[in-house]
Amino acid sequence: MAEALDESWIGLDIEGNGFYRYPEQVCLIQISIGDTPYLVDPLDIEDMGPLGKVISEPSITKIVHSGDYDIRSLHRDYGIVFEGVFDTSIAAAFLGSKRLGLDAILKEYIDADVTKDKKLQRSDWTNRPLTREAVVYAADDVRYLGEARSVLTQRLLDKGRIEWVEEECRRLESVRFEPRDEQTAFLNVKGSRDLGNGALAVLRRLYDLREDEAIGRDRPPFKIVSDSVLVDIARDPDQDFSKIKGIGHWARSDARKRIDLAVEEGRSDEPVQRPRNQARRGPHLSNKQREQANQHLRDLKQWRKTHGERLELDPSLLWPTVSLGRISRQPENLEDEFSEPEVRDWQITEFGESLESFLSYLVD
């Protein structure tokens, strides 16, 4: 890591084991210095402080691809915080690329052929020793990032969009791993919104049972049993579990005893009141006002689409949809909208005046 401190940039990527193990952890860290890729084995290193020093050094640009996962994972496992990020996926999106996978971007911008084997993408990176194929695969994730960044940066400069990408990358730097609330995590189970309060109490017990088994068996929860099975049991705990699609080993007698106990405890618990969603900001709208707001939103999306077509960019990049929703309900608050956290400075600079003019026309 001492060598990296003398560099102006490094390429960075990680591999995790979330498809096979639970809880997930970082299993491999790939770093490129110049044209040379290095593989760092965090499973064999106790002190990741030197790496954290490099990553948090703002004078060293960390080149990543779709770096949200990498940034969250390194923060989760080692408390590492990023400063100085360039994301090749974000850069390519702002150049109008339709395919944003690493292999597609490398081919489009530097004509490098990198094959991303789906089997290796889904392999268990906990296993050692790494196969030769896995080493090549991992190294290729960072081998060309420096060259790609150079080309992408020049293209962005030519189009006058480098500041757009720089702001997006600064936002990416601020990403942190946020531990879930273990007391309410079960409410995020897909399909749980269709359950009554009593069934939610049962679901909570079943969710905890699955978590305990996932940790005990070191397997991700979805490989223990699916969300749909939990919801199905919570909805009708008296049914024949063996007939539930996808129940797998939970249909066995030993698992059935644990399920029965969880159901019994859930039925004895107080019914669960799902917290209400925070009300949307702004006044309550009448039916006529809501209809008008919906029309305004359609018009605003068309305004955004027109700019997207002119710039040959995905319109969603140009202004946040959630912001357009608020504007459609309270167009008189446009100036306040410019202070909202979802709205970028570059968006205000590039499109604020146009949006203001369009809105004036819209509400006249």
Domain housing 316: 287-363
Indicate which CATH number applies to the domain containing 210: 1.10.150
Cα–Cα dist 318/308, whole Å: 7
* Per-residue model confidence (pLDDT) at position 308: 98
Domain's final residue, options 115, 141, 173: 173
Question: Is 276 inside any structural domain?
Answer: no
Q: Where are the beta strands (DSSP E) in 45-182?
A: 61-64, 85-87
Question: Is 143 inside any structural domain?
Answer: yes
Same domain for 151 and 298?
Answer: no
Residues (pLDDT < 70) of the chain are: 1, 277-282
DSSP assignments along 2-13, one per residue: TTGGG-SEEEEE
Q: Is 62 helix (H, G, I), strand (E, B) or coil?
A: strand
Indicate which CATH number applies to the domain containing 49: 3.30.420.10
Question: Is 274 inside any structural domain?
Answer: no
DSSP assignments along 115-150, one per residue: ---HHHHTS-TT-SSPPHHHHHHHHHHHHTHHHHHH
Same domain for 37 and 158?
Answer: yes
Same domain for 207 and 80?
Answer: no
Q: What is the pLDDT of residues 184-242, one digit of tens each?
A: 999 999 999 999 999 999 999 999 999 999 999 999 999 999 999 999 999 999 999 99
Same domain for 334 and 220?
Answer: no
CA distances in angstroms from 134 to 119, 121, 141, 313, listed in the order given: 10, 9, 11, 35
Residues 105 and 89: beta-carbon distance below 8 Å: yes
Cα–Cα dist 98/123, whole Å: 27
Cα–Cα dist 246/251, whole Å: 10
Same domain for 12 and 159?
Answer: yes
Question: Is 273 inside any structural domain?
Answer: no
* Per-residue model confidence (pLDDT) at position 281: 58
Residues 172 and 87: beta-carbon distance below 8 Å: yes
Question: Is 178 inside any structural domain?
Answer: no
Cα–Cα dist 101/88, whole Å: 10
Same domain for 100 and 239?
Answer: no
Same domain for 9 and 123?
Answer: yes
Question: Which tokens in the block code for residue 263?
Answer: 């159901």
Question: Is 261 inside any structural domain?
Answer: yes
Q: Residue 32 forms beta bridges with which residues?
A: 11, 37
Same domain for 219 and 130?
Answer: no
* Per-residue model confidence (pLDDT) at position 278: 52
Name the domain count of the chain. 3
Q: What is the pLDDT of residues 303-352, one digit of tens each?
A: 999 999 999 999 999 999 999 999 999 999 999 999 999 999 999 999 99
Same domain for 120 and 192?
Answer: no
Cα–Cα dist 48/116, whole Å: 28
